[in-house]
Amino acid sequence: MAILGAFIVPHPPIILPEIGRGEEKKISQTTEAYEKVMEEISNLHPETVIITSPHSVCYFDYFHISPGKEAEGDFGRFGAPEVALKTTYDQEFAAVLSENCLKDNLSAGEEGEKDKHLDHGTMIPLYFLNKHYFGFKTVRIGLSGLPALDFYKLGQEIQKTADLLNRNIVLIASGDLSHCLKEDGPYGFKKEGPEFDQAIVEMMKKGDFRSFFSFEPAFLEKAEECGLGSFQILAGTLDKKAVKSEFLSYQGPFGVGYAVSGYTVIGVDEKNDIYQQILNEKQKKIEERKAKEDPLVKLARLSVESFVLTGKTISVPSNLPEEIMKKKAGVFVSLHKDGQLRGCIGTFSPCYQNIATEVINNGVEACSQDPRFNPVEAYELPDLEYSVDVLSPFEKISSVDQLDAKRYGVIVQNGSRRGLLLPNLDGVDTPDEQIEIAKKKAGIRQNENVILYRFEAVRHL
């Protein structure tokens, strides 16, 4: 039995007496639960402890696995430099895990470490574990901006590596819940905060790992959580395993949610095939979506797929509706993958002879020239969702009061710098938010004055 168990723990520095100086008593239930988890890990006698931390080295498109023989760190940035920890890495496990990920086309490995010091998301679990257990090695893994299913795949790769090396391991998923539970918390109060915590806690209690992948990205952004990625890796590590679940505690007195939960492996459960379940559901949605796509979206898909596969821009098809061939307009083509933006390029005003040509060229640009992303690769094509926004002519306005985030898009201008934001975007609810984002896109500082324009857009899905 290579995978012995997996555990969810938070990482608030204030939980340490040397830092909390009495304030840690307000989360004593969390402390007690932490101690119990570490006792359970000690009883399992793992050779290697995998720790996933949102505060380790993090890249948008890559899971970083810490390299080297050992690492150390301290809590100096939290006012307690005397609290220092050191750990020995399982170099063989990290190397084989990296090799397995490379073979299976998962973007993960040991390259690109900018700071070898241990982060607090790793040190706090080690602080408690070191009081109960000795002689183990660790593997430290950071999170990424990759799609949620890749987190599950990383967990599967951890399990695969443990089996290959016949290494008894435990995984510790380090992560806090929402950071916006209270007005005086680190991010103030947002209703999505307690909503997220309530939902994820119920999932933890039931061992309902499938639901870890059910949250909408816009909701997660507002919930201001940091641990879900760690929990999704945990789910993959327990792929096809039967587990005994034990939920131990939840607290949030400082405006941040702290949950402690444990899952001990007790056997095999072939029905616990979450990855395939999600893939099946995803494929079904893709087919349903394709069947409903309107002509502009079909054209955008054809443009992108042809360019990615052949490197050539298609000619305008002859069977398009007359309106698309005769009218001119600014057009934005947006690509999404697993609920996350994968590319978006458009024209403020028409640049080509008709809407069809506008869509074709902007589709090519969206998949290959968006500076925020690497070019789309062929294996990604089945997962892409498309939307096409056809813009009305924009008009100058004198006040933010003339905007409506659902109805109007906004253009901000300061000299030669211009930024545009489409209307009716998930997670953007107010004109002020629209302007803030548009300024960032244009490289305009928030305190700089801008000329405002508004426009309407017809979104094709």
In contact, 331 and 388? CB cutoff 8 Å: yes
Question: C-alpha angle 252/50/273, rounded to 5°?
Answer: 85
Q: What spatial distance separates the first Cα and last Cα of the chain, rounded to whole Å? A: 48
In contact, 381 and 352? CB cutoff 8 Å: no
The whole-model pTM stands at 0.82
What's the pLDDT score for residue 236?
A: 97
Dihedral sign, Cα of residue 24, residue 204, residue 168, residue 275: negative
What's the pLDDT score for residue 339?
A: 77
What's the pLDDT score for residue 185?
A: 87
The domain limits of the chain are 3-277, 291-460
Rounded CA separation 227/232 (Å): 9
Other C-beta atoms closer than 10 Å to the C-beta of 416 total 6
Rounded CA separation 120/30 (Å): 17
Rounded CA separation 149/161 (Å): 18
Per residue in 148-189, pLDDT (tens digit) is: 999 999 999 999 999 999 999 999 999 999 999 999 988 999
Of 238, 173, 239, 250, residue with least CA distance to 205: 250
Rounded CA separation 196/187 (Å): 15
Radius of gyration for the chain, computed over Cα atoms and rounded to the nearest angstrom: 25
CATH superfamily of 3-277: LigB-like (3.40.830.10)
Q: What is the DSSP letter of 256?
A: S
- Which phi-psi region, left, alpha or beta, contains residue 303 (left: φ > 0; alpha: ψ -120 to 50)? alpha
21-57 per-residue burial string, b: 16 or more CB within 10 A, e: under 16: eeebeebeebbebbebbbebbbebebbbbbbbbbbbb
CATH classification for the domain delimited by 291-460, as one of 2.30.30.830, 1.10.3720.10, 3.30.700.20, 3.50.40.10: 3.30.700.20
> What's the length of the chain?
461
What's the pLDDT score for residue 285?
A: 84
What's the pLDDT score for residue 1?
A: 64
Rounded CA separation 155/158 (Å): 5
SS3 string, 48-111, reads: EEEEEECCCCCECCEEEECCCCEEEEEEHHHCEEEEEEEEEECHHHHHHHHHHHHHCCCCEECC
In contact, 436 and 365? CB cutoff 8 Å: no
What's the pLDDT score for residue 147?
A: 87
Rounded CA separation 273/241 (Å): 9
SS3 string, 161-208, reads: HHHHHCCCEEEEEECCCCCCECCCCCCCECCHHHHHHHHHHHHHHHCC
- pLDDT averaged over 10-residue windows placed end to end, the chain, 461 residues: 94 97 96 98 98 95 96 97 97 98 95 94 98 96 93 97 97 98 93 97 97 91 95 97 97 97 95 88 86 94 97 94 93 90 94 96 97 92 93 94 95 94 91 94 93 95 89
Distance of CA 362 to the CA centre of its chain: 26
> Which pair of structure tokens corresponds to residue 78?
């939290």
- Amino acid identity, residue 59? Y
Strand extents, DSSP E, 357-450? 384-391, 395-397, 408-414, 417-421
